[in-house]
Amino acid sequence: MVEVWLEKLMASYNLDSINSKNSYAAQIHIKGELFENLIWWGLQSLPDEILVGMDVDPDSPHLTEVEDLFRSEQHVDGLFQSQGYQINEAHIVNRGNSFSVHHLPEDWTDDMFSSNRGSRAGRFTHWLHTHPNAPAIPSEADADAAQETPGIDMILGLRFSPEGPMPWFNDVEGTRRRLGEEAKPVKSKKSKRRKFGASKNLSVIGVAPSGHKIHEIQLIAFHKSGLAINVVLVDNEGMPYGWKDLK
């Protein structure tokens, strides 16, 4: 079961995805339960970024009804490996800073995944990495790393507190895709003056098992060519959250 607050945010994200569907070259469906795990893992691994390898299940193609609804006028067939299949498997493969996170340990395929990855212990199809307290917008290092990806790359941006050594870094150009609203300071009746630390008093959308207050979640996906991929967050039946408001 996904947290209720996250379910609502996923529904609002899906609505935005429908409304902007023609800005995308293709779509990818990802299970909400898995997406929730990615958020928890990202916060448990602070202050590091994490790199997550993801795969599809050949028995779980996108539902045609959903695929048709989210289909873009700019749709490109056969753009990436496993296009048309849901992401429903994910493993943390590495952690580090914004540069080192992309450099996998040399022996990472040898033992780490041999037991649960079977004969497919090779590379993953899709990749996701986190941007702790930074927007989900690719850096140059991210774009370089994506050149090796057969599927697509995703970035999960998380704004949270306590910030620890990582204050929110906002100085990045690019298109942002939020789940819900931009984080805003909570208005206090007691004091109208701006004071030191006031920026920390942001609206909270949810609390993670790690104890972090979450203020904002951003999610984007892109192909190595630079084309944007539309992400659809689906339940265990493959239906998008908020389906009844999307049709």
β-pair type (206-207, 153-161): unpaired
- How far is the C-alpha of 187 from the C-alpha of 168, rounded, in Å? 19
Report the residue number, 114 or 225, with the smaller CB distance to Zn ion: 225
Closest CA to 98 of 43, 138, 154, 42: 138
Number of residues that bind Zn ion (CB under 5 A): 2
Only segment of 2-10, 51-59, 76-84, 139-147 that touches Zn ion (CB under 5 A): 139-147
Smallest gap from Cβ 238 to Zn ion, in A, equals 29
Smallest gap from Cβ 130 to Zn ion, in A, equals 8
- How far is the C-alpha of 27 from the C-alpha of 130, rounded, in Å? 20
Q: Closest residue to Zn ion, Cβ-based?
A: 142
Smallest gap from Cβ 139 to Zn ion, in A, equals 5
Mask of contacts with Zn ion, 22-51, x by CB under 5 A? ------------------------------
Q: Contact between 153 and Zn ion (CB under 5 A)?
A: no
Q: How far is CA 142 from the centre of its chain?
A: 14
Residue 182 has φ and ψ, to the nearest 5°, of -65, 140
Q: Contact between 142 and Zn ion (CB under 5 A)?
A: yes
Smallest gap from Cβ 83 to Zn ion, in A, equals 23
CA torsion angle for 76, 77, 82, 87 (degrees, to 10)?
Answer: 50
Mask of contacts with Zn ion, 80-119, x by CB under 5 A? ----------------------------------------
β-pair type (26-31, 228-234): parallel
**Contact between residue 194 and residue 155 where contact means Cβ atoms under 8 Å apart:** no
Q: Contact between 216 and Zn ion (CB under 5 A)?
A: no
Binding site for Zn ion (CB under 5 A): 139, 142
